[in-house]
Chains A and B, each alone.
Chain A
Amino acid sequence: MNIKVKLVGSGVEGDPYRAQIPTYVLRHANHTEGWAIVHIPEDVHGLSPTDLEKEEVQETSDGPFYPNLSQGAIDTIHKHWKEKYAGSTATHKLEKA
């Protein structure tokens, strides 16, 4: 799944621009506006095919892009991360941008 999310960080060593997502690959980041398009593997976001069918999707060169994930989907992802990465002290947060 490819989505557009908020970037955090100041772009220096020790505080890189980054998404607060446990596992992702960066597709494109806009440091000026503070957003990025990232790829999140299926087993990481935890949304089922049924969940994804309800969401707006656009076909892109990098696979499906979800431009406007619903709050319900975001809540499901956060719940999934809480279980899947229990014990992690890192901040895992998906914020749309």
Chain B
Amino acid sequence: MRITSVAQARAAYHDRNTSDATVWTQQVAIGPHGVVSRYTYTVPAGRKALVASAYARWRRVTVAAPVGKITLFLNQGVGSGMNADIHNLLNTVDAIESISGPGGLFMGPASGVVCNTGDLGTGGTCDYSATHFITEFDA
């Protein structure tokens, strides 16, 4: 019988001084606004981070006149990573759009995430919520 084991010289990532670095935003009945960064997270030197999952939800509360482009933008691995975007012109009360970002992304130092929102309409209000669930650990 041959016995083998996986060579492992160090602890797994989840046992390397982990900390929760989750960032989130929740905005209720927000009117038109230029594109703004609701949150950012940057991986520190000597650390790495796992984006376990990301989620964004948008809902129209009151109609715009006229409607303009709605943006709810999640970026992971800023500059070269994966995006999850909501871009629409929906103008019906209680219109809802949600999206789950790709999870399981490992990010190295200086990489990170960002969440932007924008509403180029005139009048009308919307709800926005977004979360990046992030675990940070020693590189």
What chain B residues lie within 8 Å of A83 (beta carbons)?
Answer: 45
Are B45's CB and A87's CB within 8 A? yes
Are B39's CB and A16's CB within 8 A? no
Q: Is B96 an interface residue (CB 8 A)?
A: no
What chain A residues lie within 8 Å of B42 (beta carbons)?
Answer: 22-23, 85, 88, 90
Q: Is B13 an interface residue (CB 8 A)?
A: no
Query: Given contacts A11-B36, A18-B37, A23-B40, is CB(A90)–CB(B110) below 8 Å?
Result: yes
Cα separation A83 to B109 with both chains bound (whole Å) = 12
Cα separation A18 to B33 with both chains bound (whole Å) = 13
Are A85's CB and B35's CB within 8 A? no
Query: Given contacts A11-B34, A11-B118, is CB(A84)–CB(B39) below 8 Å?
Result: no
Which size class do A's interface residues fall under? Answer: 20 to 34
Closest Cβ–Cβ distance, residue B47 to chain A (whole Å): 9
Q: Is A66 an interface residue (CB 8 A)?
A: no
Are A25's CB and B25's CB within 8 A? yes
Q: Is A59 an interface residue (CB 8 A)?
A: no
Q: Is B44 an interface residue (CB 8 A)?
A: yes
Cα separation A26 to B30 with both chains bound (whole Å) = 14
Q: Is B23 an interface residue (CB 8 A)?
A: yes
Cα separation A18 to B24 with both chains bound (whole Å) = 16
Q: Using CB atoms, name the residue of chain A closest to B37.
A: A18
A25's partner among B33, B35, B38, B45 (CB-CB below 8 A) is: B38
Closest Cβ–Cβ distance, residue A87 to chain B (whole Å): 5
Query: Given contacts A13-B71, A85-B42, A86-B45, is CB(A29)–CB(B110) below 8 Å?
Result: no
Q: Is A61 an interface residue (CB 8 A)?
A: no
Q: Which of A1-40 contact B (CB under 8 A)?
A: 9-13, 15-19, 21-26, 29, 31
Are A84's CB and B35's CB within 8 A? no
What chain B residues lie within 8 Å of A25 (beta carbons)?
Answer: 23-25, 38-39
| Chain A residues at the B interface, C-beta cutoff of 8 Å | 9-13, 15-19, 21-26, 29, 31, 43, 83-90
**Which 3 pairs show the lowest CB-CB distances between chains A and B?**
A11-B34, A22-B42, A18-B37
14 contacts between A and B (CB under 8 A): A9-B37, A11-B35, A16-B37, A16-B116, A17-B37, A19-B37, A22-B41, A24-B39, A24-B40, A25-B38, A26-B38, A29-B36, A85-B110, A90-B110
